[in-house]
Amino acid sequence: MTASTLPDTGAKSHRQILEALSGLLLVLFLAMISSTIVSVALPQIIGALDGTQSQYTWVVTAALLTTTASTPIWGKLADLFDKKLLLEVAIGIFLVASLACGFAQNTPMLIAFRAVQGLGMGALQILVQVVIAAMISPKDRGRYNGYLGAVMAVATVGGPLLGGLITDTSWLGWRWCFFLPIPFTALALLILHRTLDVASVRRPGTSVDYPGAILIAAGVSILLIWVTFVHNSFDWISWQTFAMVGASVVLLGIAVWVESVVREPVVPLHVIRRRTPALAILASLAVGMAMFGGAVFLGQYFQIGRGYSPTEAGLLTIPMMLGVLVSSTVSGRMVSRSGRVKPYILVGSIVLTIGFLVLSTMDHDTSLVLVGGGMLVVGAGVGMSMQNLVLAVQNTVPLRELGAASGAVTFFRSLGGTIGVSVLGAVLANQVTANITTGLAKAGIPAPASQSGGASLNMGALPEPIRTIVRAAYGDATGHIFLISACIAVVGILAVLFLPQVRLRDSLDLAEPAAGPDAPAAAETR
């Protein structure tokens, strides 16, 4: 089969797919490494900029929030306009924002630039998946999703290690965590411009549901701001709580109504109401909340709770990424071979929960062997479940709804991650504050007048006795957030249990008779 015989169907030869895939995987790698490269360096970054624990959380949350809010918009745009052009625009946004992050002079500025960077990251994550799905049938996609998982694992492994090395190198410094990916991103843009050729169907009279997207973003943002500041700046039962939670509920309720009446909804309710997408989205929400919420604080645990350098902290996170690398590659090939996806998602969800339970036992002097084993198991669970949940949804929708469906599941996974980081970050900050107060009292050291948002992360500025107390406080508090992550992951297991036995189709699109409302059910049950 050659490329010349396939222009009408949009199918590509294996060589064409690999050429385009090289650029797609490179840009996805760079988007992901730009997130993970910061994870280990963040304690140093926030310390250098004299930030707090709450600001630490928001450097991560700001990017996740804009990624979450923009993902369904990019997914919808991919159904309406030129996918290649959209991808190139997203790369441009990501390049400019990365440069701005590198020049940030304080934490509010860094948080703002990270929010812009999240727009590009959200676009790249969803558009790469949509383009791959537009070129490759669901059954064959399992093997290529294995490559996708491997790239994600390498980015996650290499990111913390590279970030640690850059931060520890005196003639570079943490700013190069943002500068380094820029030339490689420009190279990826050139590769995609020359090799990517994907069919795009433009329909007249189409529109994007910007009001729905704005309402969703506003509702989620207010809720996350409330989660971050409740119990520190105001009480759980207070007028601020009622105002913020009430406003969030009203905005999200209006968003649901808007999505139900507009012609081109940014989150297609008719898709997510179906059994497979609905359950996969619920599982993705739980996986995202547990995975992002728990893993983002590991670098902080190793550096502040255990006293390791950024490079050492990067090396210590390798077991989790190794688990992702092996399990995603192996499970991807097995899914393509068998045509079944549910067993691998279910096993992955159970393994993920077990890993979090192991990590929930750690404190500031837990054996690194136990911590490494827990991270390995968590990584294996993530590798088996995360991409296969997207694949299960993509298998049940026609090609014309591919972007919206992929955007929906990615949106809810990112939403789960954003909520997870905010909630677990708030729990961690509160627990750390309580632990530090108790530790200072036992040592007979007067507590500071205010510790809003947690203690300062500038460890070098603290006297030795206080530094020891702060390290123990962070180390002991981290286990609590992994216990919460395990409870959240159980919700993912329950959702996966009710997934139908999906059989992956061989074609790029659903058969023409399957375009009706009953088609997805047929795809789910055969």
DSSP string, 428-480: HHHHHHHHHHHHHHHHTPPPPS--TTS-BS-GGGS-HHHHHHHHHHHHHHHHH
What CA–CA distance (Å, rounded) separates 235 from 240? Answer: 8
Question: Residue 525 has what pLDDT?
Answer: 40
Over range 59-84, report the average pLDDT: 77
The runs of H, that is alpha helices, within 169-206 are 176-179, 181-195
List beta partners, residue 456: 52
Per mean pLDDT, which of 143-157, 300-314, 427-441, 478-492 is the most reliable?
A: 478-492
CA 114 to chain centre: 14
Q: Which residue has the tokens 């970054």?
A: 45
Residue of 155, 130, 36 lying closest to 76 (CA atoms): 130
Over range 55-64, report the average pLDDT: 76
Question: Residue 413 has what pLDDT?
Answer: 77
Q: Is the dihedral of CA 255, 257, 260, 263 positive or negative?
A: negative
Question: Residue 242 has what pLDDT?
Answer: 92
Q: Is 170 helix (H, G, I), strand (E, B) or coil?
A: coil
What CA–CA distance (Å, rounded) separates 244 from 227? Answer: 10
Encode pLDDT of 122-145 as tens digits: 888 788 878 887 777 666 666 676
Q: Is the dihedral of CA 358, 363, 367, 368 positive or negative?
A: positive
Per-residue tokens: 459: 């460890």
Residue of 102, 66, 74 lying closest to 404 (CA atoms): 74
DSSP per-residue codes, 239-285: HHHHHHHHHHHHHHHHHHHHHHHSSS-SS-HHHHTSHHHHHHHHHHH
Question: Residue 250 has what pLDDT?
Answer: 95
Encode pLDDT of 101-119 as tens digits: 988 888 889 999 998 998 8
Say if residues 312 and 167 touch (Cβ distance below 8 Å).
no
Q: Is the pLDDT of residue 514 over 70?
A: no
Question: Residue 14 has what pLDDT?
Answer: 63
CA distances, 85 to each of 30, 124, 320 (Å): 19, 12, 35
Provide, rounded to the nearest whole percent, the portion of the chain with pLDDT above 90.
11
Over range 195-213, report the average pLDDT: 68
The overall average pLDDT reported for the chain is: 77
Question: Residue 261 has what pLDDT?
Answer: 87
The neighbour count for residue 214, using CB atoms within 10 Å, is 16
Q: Which of the residue ranges 40-44, 213-217, 478-482, 516-520 would you say has the lowest mean pLDDT? A: 516-520
